[in-house]
Structure 1
Amino acid sequence: MMFLKSAFSFAKLEYRAMRFYPTSFVLAIIQSFVTTGMWFFVSLFLKEYADQSLSLYGGDFVSYMVIGVVFFQNAAAIMALPYQSINAAFWDKRLEVYNSSSYGVWSFITGRFIWTFLYQLVIQIGVLTFAIYVVGVNVNAHIPVIPLIAFYLFFVLICLGFGLIGASNFFNLEVKQGREPFTWLVDVLARIFSGIYYPLAILPFGIQFISRLIPHTYALEGIRLVMISGFGFENEIVRNNLLIMLCFSIVSLVLGILTFNKAIDKAYKGNGVGIVV
């Protein structure tokens, strides 16, 4: 209970910072609309050709593209969060203080995660609402809500686990500036092989197996089947993808927690987790 209270206090700090400096929130909304809008127009240009490869999703490339881009942006923000949090606390000389408290760095990261999750969810809902009701992006009239929530939550947990693995490299590899290599690699592979921007069917057959090693593939495929085709638990692909994502989420979170804890212990036994003056 005290851990959650501590975590929510960090989330509240992020909320207060946004209230005092709302420009970043406004710019984040604009950025999300701009990114989604850019790919929306690209999808309109490619629609006639790409629709032929999307019979599973009703042959609608515009909906396929917009939904993929919106959910991927959210996942990318969650995955980058742990490293960004540690990086900010380290250079602000707060990390040593957090680590010496009763709940260590974990309450700080958890609080930041809670805030980022809600923050990104609001932006995501806003963009999707605009895309559906203003732009006219097609979704099924009867979206199965429970499968959609399940896919979304598993996707978030997987990205959080990957983010924790990446954050451990702040100390393990001494990556204290720039982009961290693990999440960078996951991000690049996802952009190329998970079908965010184009159907997986256009990839050469010999490398399509790479797509099945990336959890984003199962998440985006499942979310699109639910939102565009209206498939629920009765669909075999939906059930299988959810099961695979459950396994991914457990493995990524366990590995993330273990690697991050070991990295903190290693740093603490060395020069400490703060800046050595």
Structure 2
Amino acid sequence: METFMRKSKLSSREKLTVVGLHILRNVKLWTRFTASFYMGILQMVSEAAVFLFIGRWVTNDSGVQYVSFVILGLAFARFLFATISGCYSSLSIGHSSAMLEPILLSPSSVNLMVIGDLIWTYINTSLYVVCYLLLGWAFGMRIEMGFQLVGMALGVLVLSILSVLGFGYMSAAMFMLANAKGGNEPINWFISTLQGLVSGVYFPISVMPNWLQWISLCLPQAYGIDAARRLLLVGKSGDVTIPTQALLPFSPLVTDIMMLILFIVILLPLGLWVFKLGLNKAKVDGGLSRWS
């Protein structure tokens, strides 16, 4: 232990071990309080059922079944919401459990804790998404299941997660920069609200007023969800659904992927930079102390 504490940096293997330990900690906590998971499932079923019943009588002019449309949107959006809120949640839990101070005094880092917690969040979210898909199939959901298309959709999911991860780090930075420790964090609230309203989770972006459609083009979630639907939905056409797709000389799917990459290049470094600013401030003023 003494030798470990003398090291100023961890090797790549040791960093992976630290991330794995944070994942294991979350698994142990989850197995102790599985009731929260089942309560979450019941809440998810009740929320999804509203849209599934609506889908029993809604006719989509584009030929896409609404049940498939909304279930795929809900499943995809859950991963993106987990990314945006997960970084802040990791810091909040670490702060309330007095874990941050020993981490800051060790060769480990707060970022490794956040990464470990995020990976667990994706594992946990996957369980909910499986329930979404099973519920959708029970209501007649139809999606393309070809190996290549599913693989491409998973690739789009990874790009989408990376494209909003910058928002997640900015949200976590507010924990330190704005002392947002009460659970009400403005960036997370604002982006998540817009995600539900204008990113096309519940209805096509093309049915919104023009000025709202132009807001949607500023959200990476809109491109990720649209790309996934173009790959997986039976009957999904090549029509333009986001204003950006009409401005660029590429197919809508290629435009979606290009925009996701652009958001990654811009938002991820910006988010990491703001997060680092927050950590540096917290190290100076003790903002991550349990009693701060």
- TM-score for the superposition, normalised by structure 1: 0.89
The alpha-carbon deviation at position 82 of structure 1 amounts to 0.9
Q: Residue 7 in 1 paired to residue 16 in 2?
A: no
SS of the residue 1:76 aligns to: helix
Identity fraction in percent? 22
Amino acid at match of 1:250: V
The aligned counterpart of 1:103 is: 108
Matches within 5 A, 1:47-126: 47-48=58-59, 51-52=60-61, 55=62, 58-126=63-131
Q: List per-residue Cα deviations over 1:196-226 (Å, max 9, x = no partner).
A: 1112222112332111111111011111111
Distance (Å, rounded) in 1 between the aligned partners of 2:211 and 2:29: 49
The aligned counterpart of 1:266 is: 281
The aligned counterpart of 1:246 is: 261
Amino acid at match of 1:12: L
Matches within 5 A, 1:176-187: 176-187=181-192
The gaps in structure 1 that reach 5 residues or longer are none
More helix by share: 1
Corresponding residue pairs, total: 266
Distance (Å, rounded) in 1 between the aligned partners of 2:254 and 2:235: 14
Q: Do the aligned partners of 1:96 and 1:272 also contact (CA within 8 Å) in 2?
A: no
Amino acid at match of 2:271: G
Q: List per-residue Cα deviations over 1:6-64 (Å, max 9, x = no partner).
A: 0110100111111222112222222222222222223334x13xx12xx2xx3322211
- TM-score for the superposition, normalised by structure 2: 0.85
Q: Which aligned segments of 4 or more residues in structure 1 are displaced greater than 6 angstroms?
A: none
SS of the residue 1:196 aligns to: coil
Q: Judge which range, 141-150 or 216-225, deviates more.
A: 141-150
The aligned counterpart of 1:38 is: 50
SS of the residue 1:101 aligns to: coil
The aligned counterpart of 1:135 is: 139
SS of the residue 1:264 aligns to: helix
Q: 1:39 to 1:230 in 2, by over 3 A?
A: closer
The gaps in structure 2 that reach 5 residues or longer are 1-12, 237-249
Distance (Å, rounded) in 2 between the aligned partners of 1:139 and 1:270: 52
The alpha-carbon deviation at position 230 of structure 1 amounts to 7.6
Distance (Å, rounded) in 2 between the aligned partners of 1:178 and 1:66: 28
The aligned counterpart of 1:236 is: 251
Distance (Å, rounded) in 2 between the aligned partners of 1:119 and 1:10: 14
Q: Do the aligned partners of 2:199 and 2:205 also contact (CA within 8 Å) in 1?
A: yes
Q: 1:271 to 1:19 in 2, by over 3 A?
A: closer
Q: Do the aligned partners of 1:195 and 1:217 also contact (CA within 8 Å) in 2?
A: yes
Distance (Å, rounded) in 2 between the aligned partners of 1:83 and 1:262: 15
The alpha-carbon deviation at position 272 of structure 1 amounts to 4.4
The aligned counterpart of 1:29 is: 41
Q: Do the aligned partners of 2:230 and 2:253 also contact (CA within 8 Å) in 1?
A: yes
Q: Do the aligned partners of 1:36 and 1:70 also contact (CA within 8 Å) in 2?
A: no
Distance (Å, rounded) in 2 between the aligned partners of 1:125 and 1:243: 28
